[in-house]
């Protein structure tokens, strides 16, 4: 089971064995060594930041978080069926 | 200048004014080509070079473009294409700001760079290029770094600012300056196969959100470089945004970010919640 490697607090599992399914999408360099799009399961109430940690992406490399087509912040909690996308910083001209 | 007006009206073919007539008018009345263009557009005569604009941009709007002033901050990959397109569009005054000279590594993508412009100031190349393609357009070059300290001077009387910079902290400074001066700002950034565009009006904070986690250094462009097609595309979208802002037409990328992935041909339109100050609450 993939969730064993997640960096999420154990008490979330103990309180509630349920999981929610999140559709993840990564952009540009974040795809390298990871994936383009993947559905993953997390305990209910997992914040965006925990998913970023789970993916081992340093937070300062995150340009933008998109949750269900809207800009989001790391402390936002995820819900069943959410579409979460992570974009790296782009700054060239 | 009734004589100038009569001269132009006599030489118009229906309402199209040929280039030779603009040149002849400038010589005969000893006035500048921009002055002739404004006189023609004020008479609802369309310089013939703009006849393929007309279905999208009627003559009254062409006059609005001519009377507008757009500042392009950075004259490299993005800025070069933006200047080229603004000049062909017929924006009357372009303020070009960049401290650098062309180097060999610019040649793969920067439209103002050629082997003969190596070592030459980018803003001087911009002046020469626009003089070549549309002499009715005035380019005001500033061979300086944009900085918060000189921003108010550089951007005075500007209708729209184009962010074509290559430094994240300078982009954030520019966003602050434009907010303070009340000027709309069109932001474009590129790296490798990827790019982004957003348009920010005074009070909006999309650019600040895009770079809120930035600590130091550059973005993906550091690893991925910049090929030729990404700046051309992102600059074209930026220019379309400038055109719409000046004309008050269409729906700009306000509180939205268009994210572009040319490797997999994916375009994402991300919605930002409007900043409360900007919507007046």
The ranges assigned to domains in chain B are 2-57, 68-271
**pLDDT at residue number B279:** 52
Residue B259 has pLDDT above 90, yes or no: yes
Average pLDDT over residues B16-43: 98
Classify residue A43: in a domain, yes or no.
Answer: yes
Report percent pLDDT > 90 for chain B: 95
State the pLDDT confidence band at B273, using cuts at 50, 70 and 90.
confident
Report d(CA B240, CA A35) in Å as an integer: 33
State the pLDDT confidence band at B1, using cuts at 50, 70 and 90.
confident
Greatest Cα-to-Cα distance within chain A, rounded to the nearest angstrom: 49
pLDDT in tens, B189-248: 999 999 999 999 999 999 999 999 999 999 999 999 999 999 999 999 999 999 999 999
Token pair belonging to B172: 């954030």
Report d(CA B72, CA B15) in Å as an integer: 32
DSSP-assigned beta bridge partners for residue A50 = none
Q: What CATH number does residue A6 fall under?
A: 3.10.20.30
What average pLDDT is seen over chain B? 96
pLDDT in tens, B107-159: 999 999 999 999 999 999 999 999 999 999 999 999 999 999 999 999 999 99
Average pLDDT over residues B102-107: 98
Region for A80 from its dihedrals, namely left if φ exceeds 0, alpha if ψ lies in -120 to 50, beta otherwise:
beta
Contact A30, A57 (CB under 8 A): yes
Classify residue A35: in a domain, yes or no.
Answer: yes
Half-sphere exposure of B197 (CA within 13 A, CB side): 22
In chain A, which residue ranges form alpha helices assigned H by DSSP?
Answer: 10-15, 48-54
Residues in chain B whose beta carbon is closer than 8 A to a beta carbon of chain A? Answer: 74, 76-79, 163-168, 171, 188-196, 209-211, 213-215, 218-221, 223-224, 226, 231, 257, 259, 261, 264, 268-273
Average pLDDT over residues B162-168: 97
Classify residue A93: in a domain, yes or no.
Answer: no
The residue assigned the tokens 């999981």 is A19
Phi, psi at B254, each rounded to 5°: -85, 135
Chain B hits for A93, CB-CB cut-off 8 Å, are 74, 76-79, 163-166, 188-190, 231
Question: Counting runs of H as helices and runs of E as strands, what totals does chain A give?
Answer: 2, 5
Residue B5 has pLDDT above 60, yes or no: yes
Q: How many of the other CB atoms lie within 10 Å of CB of B13? A: 10
Q: Considering its fold, how many domains does chain A have in total?
A: 1
Chain A hits for B214, CB-CB cut-off 8 Å, are 60, 89, 91
Token pair belonging to A68: 């269900």
Interface contact flag, A64 B209, Cβ < 8 Å: yes
Q: In Å, how far is B114's CA from the nearest CA of chain A?
A: 18
3-state DSSP assignment of residue B212: coil
**Domain with A22 in it:** 2-88
Contact A70, B273 (CB under 8 A): yes
State the pLDDT confidence band at B78, using cuts at 50, 70 and 90.
very high
Across the A:B interface, residue pairs with CB atoms under 8 Å apart total 100
DSSP-assigned beta bridge partners for residue B93 = B69, B138
Specify the CATH number for B68-271; select among 3.40.50.720, 3.90.1150.10, 3.30.390.30, 3.20.10.10. Answer: 3.40.50.720
CB nearest A71 (choices: B74, B261, B271): B271
Strand pairing category for B93-97 and B138-142? parallel
Interface contact flag, A29 B166, Cβ < 8 Å: no
**pLDDT at residue number A1:** 42
Classify residue A15: in a domain, yes or no.
Answer: yes
Evaluate whether ipTM surpasses 0.90: no
Contact B5, B43 (CB under 8 A): yes
- For chain A, the first-to-last Cα distance in angstroms comes to 43
Residue ranges, chain A, pLDDT below 70: 1-16
Choose, out of B82, B257, B259, B275, the residue to mutate when testing the contact with A (most A CBs < 10 Å). Answer: B259
3-state DSSP assignment of residue A8: coil
Token pair belonging to B73: 């901050």
3-state DSSP assignment of residue A71: strand
Chain B hits for A62, CB-CB cut-off 8 Å, are 213
Give pTM, 2 decimals: 0.92
Contact B236, B81 (CB under 8 A): yes
């Amino acid at each position: 089971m993939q969730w064993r490697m997640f960096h999420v607090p154990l008490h979330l599992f103990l309180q509630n064995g349920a999981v929610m399914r999140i559709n993840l999408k990564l952009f540009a360099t974040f795809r390298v060594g990871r994936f383009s799009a993947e559905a993953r399961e997390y305990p209910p109430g997992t914040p965006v930041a925990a998913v970023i940690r789970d993916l081992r992406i340093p937070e300062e490399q995150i340009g933008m978080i998109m949750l269900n087509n809207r800009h989001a912040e790391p402390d936002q909690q995820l819900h069943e069926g959410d579409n979460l996308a992570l974009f790296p910083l782009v700054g060239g001209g | 200048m009734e004589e100038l007006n009569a001269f132009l009206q006599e030489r118009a073919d229906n309402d199209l004014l040929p280039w030779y007539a603009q040149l002849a008018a400038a010589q005969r009345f000893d006035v500048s080509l921009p002055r002739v263009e404004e006189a023609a557009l004020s008479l609802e005569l369309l310089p013939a070079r703009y006849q393929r604009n007309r279905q999208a941009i009627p003559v009254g709007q062409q006059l609005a473009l001519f009377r507008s002033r757009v500042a392009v901050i950075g004259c490299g990959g993005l800025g070069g294409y933006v200047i080229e397109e603004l000049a062909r569009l017929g924006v009357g005054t372009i303020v070009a700001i960049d401290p650098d000279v062309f180097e060999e590594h610019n040649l793969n993508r920067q439209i103002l760079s050629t082997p003969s412009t190596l070592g030459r100031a980018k803003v001087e190349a911009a002046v020469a290029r626009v003089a070549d393609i549309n002499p009715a357009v005035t380019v005001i070059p500033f061979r300086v770094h944009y900085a918060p300290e000189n921003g108010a001077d550089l951007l005075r009387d500007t209708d729209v600012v184009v962010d074509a910079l290559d430094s994240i902290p300078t982009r954030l400074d520019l966003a602050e300056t434009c907010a303070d001066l009340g000027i709309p700002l069109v932001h474009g950034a590129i790296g490798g196969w990827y790019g982004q565009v957003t348009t920010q009006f005074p009070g909006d904070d999309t650019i600040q959100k895009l770079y809120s986690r930035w600590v130091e250094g550059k973005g993906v462009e550091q690893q991925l470089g910049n090929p030729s097609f990404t700046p051309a595309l992102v600059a074209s979208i930026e220019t379309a945004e400038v055109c719409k802002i000046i004309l008050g037409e269409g729906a700009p990328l306000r509180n939205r970010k268009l994210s572009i992935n040319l490797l997999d041909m994916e375009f994402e339109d991300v919605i930002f919640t409007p900043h409360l100050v900007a919507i007046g609450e």
